[in-house]
Structures are given as structure tokens and as C-alpha cells.
Structure 1
Amino acid sequence: MNPFDSAVSLARAVRSRQLSPVELAEAYLRRVDRHDPQLNAFVWRNDEDVLRAAKEAERAVMSGDELPPFHGVPIPVKDLNSVAGQPNTFGSAGTSDAPSEETDLSVERLLDAGFLLMGRTNTPEMGPMSVTENRRYGVTHNPWDPRFSPGGSSGGAAAAVAAGLAPLAQASDGGGSIRMPSSACGLVGLKPSRGRVPMRVPAWEHSATDGAITRHVEDAAAVLDVMSTPDLLGWYHAPVPHRPFADEVGRDAGRLRIGLLLSAPTGVPVDEECVAAATSLARTLEGLGHEVTPVTPRFFSQEAAQAYIELVIPSALHLVSYERPELAEPYLQELRALALTRNIAEYARGMALLHRESREVVAQWGRDFDVLLTPTMACTPPPVGTVVQEKNADPTGFRLTETQMISFTFFANLTGLPAISLPVHRTAAGLPVGAQLVGGPFDEATLIRLAASVEPLYAWTTAVPDGLR
């Protein structure tokens, strides 16, 4: 088997008995043994459970049972998501490693789809960080160059997929945490719309979402189909799509108005390599018949953005119980303390402002353009160790690199719009750089059509870091 094949094709090989689930699991576990000591993508392993589940999956294949779509395909879970019987430490030295008592809804849907849960991947402590480093498990390295970060917070997930340690990986995104690592590691990162993937408690004022990091667009579409089964017990859920997202792969997108934005909404400088990624995709889309026009969209005011940064995220850090809060990263200790200095009236005003401004931002899609094209990040992947060091030195101040990393991604979380990062460029040193497409409300379908149309032109599915083939 080719470890870089799509999960869809691997599942097809399992169903047709060309590939055994046991062979599949053993092959990926061997790759983890071989390559992960240099990457540190995995923080917890359950090899015996995986092999036991693979044997059960093999028996189901041989018995002729009706099989779910991803039967026998391994997938790791990010260490911010709970699985009953597995620890969920949130990447923190100050939390318990006792087994969780319940499984997150998105992970339940992965299990229902036939996936085999294969270990847990690294994340920054509690998630609000654009790189993947913590005091409990250490630094995750970029498979393309271990001196650099794979991004965050789903950096362990991205490193695992980029290195061929898993065909795809469960991930989550509260400000760019699927798209930034996908950009840094040369992968496809689709952030679903608000309410598309069920969560028992929508995190970060409904701005965070679960999803997956993939190499292949067909996987991004097919895994979204299984993760987005509506949860009728939740407060709300996204509209049911007209057809399965997997059916959008290869479908004509029509002629779209694509707005091109190269200046960061935060006003920080944008690296020329990141501009090159977006302009490359712009030229490709023009060549496919779309109308690409420079735009200057309206985004959130500084007051609204600060409400998210200073109210929503610090407050959310109190949802997880620390056994030893003094072991938390200094920046998290300060943010948790900041939440206790604010009052509920400030929080209510901040959320009202975000709701009002979000309506004005979202109104531009369909009116001024159909899809927005941007760089995924305003900088290339930073060296490991630098971003956390900057944040611990000044937790509530301005930090250039971190701001550059989230400048083009965070507004899609605040608005709930779907967005996808595509690996369309490489620096002179060989590091991947992504470009982002942001779709209109609940319109993942258009993003999947566009991504599938350019995938063969960039051939990113066959690009593999040196030494990992």
C-alpha cells in the first residue's frame, strides 16, 4: 500500500478485499515507530486497541457484512477532543490523564463511519496558540524541515498526515487551527461552517469547529459527510447540503466572482512567499474561467476583535479543570486571570458587537464576490520555539509572528464561514505555503468544487517530504 493514498481509496481497497484492515493498521503503526521520534506528532498511542479493532474489522469484511464508508481506515484524534477510555490532557502538564468518560460527537461520527481510532496527536496547551508546543509533550516538528513549526493548534495532526503516519487526521479550528497547519505542512485543510459538525458545547462562542486535515480533496469532502450528520439535540445545526459533499468532487463550479485579498486585515506585513501562493491560485482560477478581482472587504472593528481575544478565549480557558494550574504555560495563567477581571456586562456587550458586525461582514459574500481568496497566513512557518517564547514574554501584548499567522484565518471563525487552505506554493527552501478560499454561508460545496478543480494542476497529493517516501 501507499501510505499517502487517500482514505477513500484505502477504504475501497478494504471493501474489495485487496487490503486487510490489519495490514493497513500495521503499516501505519510501523511508520509511526520509524518516523515519529523525530516529529513528535503523537502524544499517546493505543496500538493494541487499534490492532484489536482492525482484526474485528477484518472479520466483518470476510463475513460479507454491510460496511460503513471508512471501514478499517485508521485516524488519529487531536489531544483536545475526548474519547471514552482515552486520556484527554489538552496538552497540559497541569491536567489529569484519567480516561475520559464520554466521546465527543464528532468522534462518535468517525467511529460510526468505520474509522479505527489510532492514538492522539499533539496540540498547544488548551489550543489558543498558532504553533504546537507544550510543556507536557514538547515540540512537534514540521516534516518538511524539523527546524520549523507545523503550525497549530492541529500541528500534531498535520505532521502525522504530511509524514504518512496516517492517511488523514481529526482536527479542530478556533482561529485557523486546521488551515494554518495545513498550509505549513502542504495539506488540504477544510474548516466547516458554524454548526456543520456537531459539538456538545460549541466552543469559543460557537467560533470553533471540529473537522479534519487531509492530503486529498476527496477525503476532505467524504469525511465532512460523515462528521456532519445533524445533531437534532443541539441548539442549532447547519442546513443539510443539497447532495453529499463527496459528490461535489469533480462537479463544475460554474463561473465565479472571486475576490482577491493580499493585504492582511490586521495591518501586519505579508511575506512575499504568502502573496505568491495566493497570486498563483488566482492565476490558476482565472485560467479555469473564473473572474478574479482585487477587493478590500470590510472586516471586524478592533473593538470586536478584542472582545474575542480578551473575553471569549480567556473565559473559555476556565471550562477545563486544572489539577495543578501553576503548571500551565505563563501566557495561559495570565489569560485565565484576565477573565476573572472582566464582568458579565462587558461580555454581553462584546458578544452583541460581534453578532452585529458579523452580519455586515458576511453580507459581502454573494453581493460583492462569491468566494474570497487570500494567503492562508501572512508569514511562512516560523522556527520552533519562537512563538511560544514571545507569548510567554508578553501574553497580552502585540506579537508580530502570531498575528501574521492568524491574520487571514480568524475572521472565518468569527463569522462561521467555511474556508479551505490549499497547498499551492513552496518557498525557495522547500517549505509549503498555502492559499485560502473562504466561501459564503454554509457553502462548503463551492469550496470543494474549486479545490478539486485545481488539485491535479498542483499535484500536491504526490508531494512528500524528503526521506518519508
Structure 2
Amino acid sequence: MNPFDSAVSLAQAVRSKQVSPVEVTQEYLRRVDRHDSSINAFVWRNDDDVLRAAKDAEAAVMSDVELPVFHGVPIPVKGLNSVAGQPNTFGSAGISDTLRTETDLSIERLQQSGFLLMGRTNTPEMGPMSVTENQRYGITRNPWDLRLSPGGSSGGAAAAVAAGLAPVAQASDGGGSIRMPSSSCGLVGLKPSRGRVPMRVPGWEHSATDGAITRHVEDAAALLDIMSIPDLLGWYHAPAPERPFIEEVGRDSGRLRIGLLVSAPTGVPVDDECVAAATSLARVLENLGHDVSPVQPRFFSLEASQAFLDLIVPAALHLTPYDEPDRAEPYLQALRAQALSRNAAEYARGVALLHLESREIIAQWGRDFDVLLTPTMACTPPPVGTVLQEKNANPTGFRMTETQMISFTFFANLTGLPAISLPVHRTPAGAPVGAQLVGAPFDEACLIRLASAVEPVLGWTTTLPAEFH
């Protein structure tokens, strides 16, 4: 087996008895043993449990029973998601490793589809940061350049996939946390629409979503199919797609109007390499027959953006109970204190403003353009250590690097629009740089069709970090 193969192809090989689930699992565990000390993607391992599950999966294959779609394929869980029988410390020194009693809905769907849960990946404490560093587990590094961050908050997930320690990884995105790591690590990062992937409590005022980080577009589509099975007990769920998302891979998109935006909605400078990523993807899409033209869309006002950053995110940090809150990162202590200094009327006013402005922003899709194309980030992957230091030094003020990292991503969370980061460019030093496509409401299908058309042209699935081949 090739550890960089798609999860879809691995699952097919398992079902056809070309390779056993035990062999697949053992190969990834060997790679974790060999390589993870240099990148620190995994913070908790369950080798014995996953090997037992692999042996059970092997027995099922040999008994010729009907198998679920991803039977026998291992997948790691992000360190912000809960699994019954596993610890979930949220990357914090202030939360105990007591075993959880409930499994998140998206993880249940992964298990039901046949995935074998293989360890837990690193994340910044509680998630509200664009790099993957914390006091408890330390720094996660980028497999393409160990001096650089893999991004956050799903940085451990992205580092694991980029280094071939797992075929795909479960992840989540509240302001860019799937797309920023995918951009930084040369991977595909699809953020689903609001309500597509069920959650018991939608985080950050319904801006956060679970999802996955993959190398192959077919995996992004197939995982979305299984993770988006509706939760009929929830308040709402996204409209059903016309057909399974996996059937969109390779399907013709028709001729689309694609708006190109290379200036940051936040007004911060955009690195030339990030502009180059977006313009490179624009050329490919033009060559595929689409109409690409510059646009200057309307985005959220400063007041609405600040409502999200200063009211919603700090308030959400109180949903996760600390055992020892004084052991939280300094910036988290400051944000939690900030939440307690604001009142319910301010919160309600901020949420109402986000709702109203979202309507005007979303209306541009289908009216002014069909898909929006941007850089994924306004900067290239930053050096490790710098963003956490910046955030602890100025937790409630302006921070340039972090703002550059989220400038093109967070509006898709606030509006609930689907978005995908594609690995389309490299810096002269070889660091990956992604470009982002943002689709119309609930139209992940369009993004998958576009991404699958671009993938063979740019050939990123066979472009791998040298030290991890």
C-alpha cells in the first residue's frame, strides 16, 4: 500500500482483499513511530485499541458480510472533539484527561462508515488560534518545513495527513481552521455549509463546523457524504444534495462566473505568494472554460466582525468547563474575562447584526458571480512560536499575522457558506500556499466539481514533503 493513497482507494483495496485492515493500520502506526517525533501531530495514541479494531475489521472482510464504505481505514480525531472512552483535554493544561462518556455526532458517523479511530491530533488550546501550539502538548510543525507552522486550529490533523501518518483526518473549522492548515500543508480543506454536518451544539453562534482534511478531492467528497447524514433531533440541517457528493467528482460544472478577489477584506497586506496562488488557480479555471474577472464584494462591517471576535468567541469559551482555569493560556484567560465584562444586550445586538449583514453578503452569489476565488490566507505559513507569542502579548488587540491568516476565511463561517482550499502554489523555498473557492449557499457540489477538475491539472496528490516519502 501507498500511505499517500486516498482513503477511498484504500477502502476499495480492503474490500477486494488486496490489503488487510491490520496491514493498513500497522503501516500508519509505523509511520507515526518513525516520523511524529519531528512534527508532533499526535497528542494521544490508542495503538492497542485500533489494532484490535483492525483485526475485527479483517475478520469481517473474510466472512464476506456487507461492509460499510470506509471499512478498515484508520482516521485520527482532532483534539477538540469527544469520543466515548477517550480523553478530551481541548489542548489545555487546565482540563483533566478524564475519559469522555459521549461521542460527537460527526465522529459517530465516521465510526458507522467503517473508519477505525486512530489517536488524537494536536490543536491550540480551545481552538481560537490560527496555529497549533499549546502549553500542554507543545508545538506542531509543518512537514514541508519544520521551522514553519502547519496552521490551526486543525494543524495536527493537517500535519498528520501531509506526512503520510494517516490517509485523511477529522477536523473542524470555526474561522478557517480546516482551510488554513490545508493551505499551509499542501492539502485539500473543505469547509461544509452551515448545518451540513450535525453537531449537538453548533459552536460559535453556528459558525463552526466539523469536517475533514484530505489530500484527494474524492476523499473530501466521500467524507462529506458520510459526515453529513442529517440529525433529525437537531434544530435544523442543510438541504439534501441533488446526488451524493462523491458523484460530483469529475462531473461537468458548466461555464461559471468566478469572481477573483486578491485584496484582503480586513485591509491588511497580502503576500505576493498568496496573490500568486489565487491568480494561478484563476488561470487554470479560465483554461477550463470559466469566466474569471476581478470583483470587490461587500463583506462584514467592522462592528459585525468585532461582535464575532469580541463577544461570540469569548462567550463560547465558557462552554468548556476548566478544571483549573488559572492554567489556561494568558490570551484565553483574557478572553474569558472579556466575556464576563459584556452584557446580554450587546451579545444579542451583535448576533442580530451578523444575521442582517449576512443576507446582503450572501445575495452576491448568483447575482454578481457564481463562485468567489481568493487566496486562502494573506500570508505564507508563519514561523513556529511567533503567533502564540503575539497573541499572549496582545490578546484583545490587533495582531497582524493572525489577522492575515484569517482575513479570507472567517467570513465564510459567519455567513455559513461552503468553501474549499486547494494546494495550488509553492513559495520559492517550497512552502505550500493555497487558494480558496467560496460557493453559493449549500452548494458544496459546485466546489467539488471545480476542485476535481483542477486536481489532475495541478497534480498535487503526488507532490509530497521530501523527508516523509
TM-score (norm 2): 1.00
How many Å apart are 1:467 and its aligned residue? 1.7
Q: Partner of 2:90 in structure 1?
A: 90
2:151 corresponds in structure 1 to 151
| Structure-1 residue corresponding to 2:181 | 181
Partner Cα distance (2:147, 2:458) in 1: 25
Give the secondary structure class of the aligned counterpart of 1:167: coil
Q: Which residue of 2 aligns with 1:242?
A: 242
Aligned to 2:452, what secondary structure does the other structure show?
A: helix
Runs of at least 5 residues in structure 2 that lack an aligned partner in the other structure: none
How much has 1:96 moved relative to structure 2? 1.1
Structural RMSD (CA): 0.3
1:168 aligns with 2:179: no
Instruction: Please give the alpha-carbon distance, in whole angstroms, between the structure 1 residues aligned to 2:83 and 2:467.
Output: 33
Is residue 266 from structure 1 mapped to residue 266 from structure 2 by the alignment?
yes
Look up the SS of the partner of 1:454 in the other structure: helix
2:130 aligned residue = 130
Alignment of 1:25-174 (within 5 A): 25-174=25-174
Paired letter, 1:3: P
Aligned equivalent of 1:320 = 320
Q: Partner of 1:362 in structure 2?
A: 362
Deviation string 1:57-103 (CA, Å, 9 cap, x unpaired) is 00000001100000000000000000000000000000011001100
Which residue pairs with 2:296 in the alignment? 296
Residues of 2 paired with 1:114 and 1:127: CA distance?
27
- Structure 2 counterpart SS, 1:317: helix
The CA distance in 2 between the partners of 1:344 and 1:396, in whole Å, is 19
| CA positional deviation for 1:43 | 0.1
Distance 1:467 1:88 in 2: 31
User: Match of 1:434?
Assistant: 434
Q: 2-side partners of 1:399 and 1:261: how far apart?
A: 22
Separation in structure 2 between the aligned mates of residue 154 and residue 73 of structure 1, nearest angstrom: 20
* 1:50 alignment partner, SS class: helix
Report the AA paired with residue 108 of structure 2.
E
| Cα-to-partner distance string for 1:261-313 (whole Å, 9 max, x where unaligned) | 00000000000000000000000000000000100000000000000000000
For 1:180-199, list aligned pairs within 5 A: 180-199=180-199
Q: In the TM superposition, what is the alpha-carbon distance from 1:401 to its structure 2 partner?
A: 0.3
1:182 counterpart letter in structure 2 = S
Counterparts of 2:468 and 2:384 in 1: how far apart (Å)?
A: 20
Q: Where do 1:217-228 residues align within 5 Å?
A: 217-228=217-228
CA distance in 1, matches of 2:28, 2:326: 37
Residue 342 of structure 1 is matched in structure 2 by 342
- Once the 2 structures are TM-superposed, how far is the Cα of residue 151 of structure 1 from its aligned partner? 0.1
Question: Following TM superposition, by how much is the alpha carbon of 1:364 offset from its aligned partner in structure 2, in angstroms?
Answer: 0.2
Amino acid of the residue matched to residue 23 of structure 1?
E
User: 1:170 & 1:401 partners in 2: Cα distance?
Assistant: 26
Aligned to 1:456: 456
| Correspondence for 1:444 | 444
In the alignment, the residues of structure 1 paired with residue 254 and residue 57 of structure 2 have an alpha-carbon distance, to the nearest angstrom, of 41
What are the superposed Cα offsets for residues 139-161 of structure 1, whole Å, 9 maximum, x if unpaired?
00000000000000000000000
Q: In structure 2, what is the Cα distance between the partners aligned to 1:66 and 1:243?
A: 23
The corresponding residue for 2:353 is: 353
- Letter of the 2:397 partner, please give it: G
Offset at 1:460? 0.3
Instruction: State the distance in 2 between where 1:467 and 1:405 align.
Output: 26
Structure 1 counterpart of 2:398: 398
Percentage identity across paired residues of the two chains:
81
How far residue 328 of structure 1 moved from its aligned partner, in angstroms, is: 0.4
| Matched letter for residue 206 of structure 1 | H
**Larger CA deviation: 318-327 vs 132-141:** 318-327
Once the two structures are TM-superposed, the CA of residue 173 in structure 1 deviates from its matched residue by 0.1
SS in 1 for 2:451: helix
Please list the CA deviations of residues 394-428 of structure 1 after superposition, one character each: whole Å capped at 9, or x if unmatched: 10111000000000000000000000000000000
Q: Does 1:255 align with 2:255?
A: yes
2:280 is aligned with 1:283: no
2:321 and 2:218 map into 1 onto residues whose CA distance is: 38
Amino acid in structure 2 at the alignment position of 1:22: V
TM-score (norm 1): 1.00
Deviating beyond 6 angstroms after TM superposition, the runs of 4 or more aligned structure 1 residues are none
> Quick one: which amino acid aligns to residue 381 of structure 1?
P
Map 1:377-388 → 2, pairs under 5 A: 377-388=377-388
The one-letter code sitting in structure 2 at the alignment partner of 1:312 is I
SS at match of 1:303: helix
> 1:143, 1:18 → 2: CA distance?
30
Q: Deviations over 1:365-399 (max 9, x none)?
A: 00000000000000000000000000100101110
Query: Quick one: which amino acid aligns to residue 265 of structure 2?
Result: P
Distance 2:317 2:288 in 1: 45
Query: Counterpart of 2:170 in 1: which secondary structure?
Result: strand
Counterparts of 2:238 and 2:467, CA distance in 1: 42
Q: How far apart, in 1, do the equivalents of 2:187 and 2:68 lie?
A: 25
Residue type matched to 2:76 in 1? P
Q: Give the letter for the 2:227 counterpart.
A: M
How big is each residue's C-alpha offset from its partner over 1:12-37, in whole Å with a ceiling of 9 and x where there is no partner?
00000001000000000000000000
- Provide the C-alpha distance between the structure 2 equivalents of 1:122 and 1:450, rounded to a whole number of angstroms: 31
Q: For residues 337 and 312 of structure 1, what CA distance do their matches in structure 2 show? A: 13
Alpha-carbon offset, residue 445 of structure 1:
0.1
Separation in 2 of the partners of 1:364 and 1:87?
Answer: 43
2:451 corresponds to which letter in structure 1?
A
1:198 maps to a residue whose letter is P
The SS at the match of 2:204 is coil
Aligned residues: 469
Q: In structure 2, what residue type is equivalent to 1:391?
A: K
Question: Quick one: which amino acid aligns to residue 389 of structure 2?
Answer: Q
Structure 1 stretches lacking a partner, 5+ long: none
